[in-house]
Amino acid sequence: MAEFFKLSLTQRPRRLRRTASRRAMVEETILRPADFIAPLFVVEGRAAPDPIKSMPGVFRLGITDLVKECRALAKLGVPAVALFPKLDPKLKDEEGSQALNEDALVLRAVRAVKKAVPELTILTDVALDPYTSHGHDGVLTVAGDDVANDHTVGLLTRMAVLQAKAGVDFVAPSDMMDGRVGAIRQALDAAGYTDTGIMAYSAKFNSAYYGPFRDAVGSAQAAGTRLLSKATYQLNPANRREAISEVLLDEAEGADIVMVKPAGLYLDIIRDVREVTRKPVAAYQISGEYSQIHAAAQLGWLDLARCRHESLLAIKRAGADMILTYFAREMAALLR
Q: Give the residue, 312 or 336, on which the prediction is more confident.
A: 312
Q: Among 114, 230, 261, 316, which one carries the catalytic annotation? A: 261
| DSSP-derived pairing of the beta strands 59-61 and 50-51 | antiparallel
222 pLDDT above the threshold of 70: no
Share of residues in the chain with pLDDT > 70 (%): 97
Mean pLDDT of 23-42: 97
261 is catalytic: yes
pLDDT over threshold 60, residue 220: no
Strand pairing partners for 172?
Answer: 125
pLDDT reported for residue 47: 84
Identify the band that residue 336 occupies on the pLDDT scale cut at 50, 70 and 90. Answer: confident
> Residue 141 in contact with residue 94, Cβ under 8 Å?
no
Residue 223 pLDDT > 60, yes or no?
no
The residue among 336 and 14 whose pLDDT is bigger is 14
* Rounded average pLDDT over 18-46: 96
CA nearest to 113, candidates 73, 85, 71 = 71
Instruction: State the pLDDT at residue 221.
Output: 54
Give percent of the chain with pLDDT exceeding 90: 91
pLDDT at 179 over 70: yes
Q: 27: which residues sit within 8 A by CB, 6+ positions away?
A: none
Burial per residue of 280-303, b for 16 or more beta-carbon CB atoms within 10 angstroms, e otherwise: ebbbbbbbbbbbbbbeebeeeebe
Q: What is the pLDDT of residue 4?
A: 79
CA–CA distance, 55 with 31 (Å, rounded to integer): 23
Give the residue-averaged pLDDT of 66-86: 98
214 Cβ neighbours under 8 A, 6+ residues apart: 135, 220, 223, 226, 228
Answer for the pair 222, 251: CB distance below 8 angstroms, yes or no.
no
User: Which pLDDT score, from 0 to 100, does residue 258 have?
Assistant: 98
- Which residues fall within 8 angstroms of residue 184, CB to CB, at 6 or more apart? 126, 156, 157, 160, 171, 173, 198
Say which amino acid occupies 283.
A
For residue 278, what are the contacts with CB-CB under 8 A and spacing of at least 6?
A: none
Domains delineated in the chain: 30-335 (3.20.20.70)
Q: pLDDT-based confidence at 27, cuts 50/70/90? A: very high
Catalytic status, residue 68: no
Please state, in angstroms and rounded to a whole number, the distance separating the CA atoms of residues 87 and 246.
30
pLDDT of residue 145: 86
Residues facing 171 on adjacent strands: 124, 198
204, 230, 279, 316: which one is catalytic?
Answer: 204
pLDDT at residue 5 tops 80:
yes
* Residues 10-33, mean pLDDT to the nearest whole number: 96
Span 130-136, average pLDDT: 93
What is the chain's length?
336
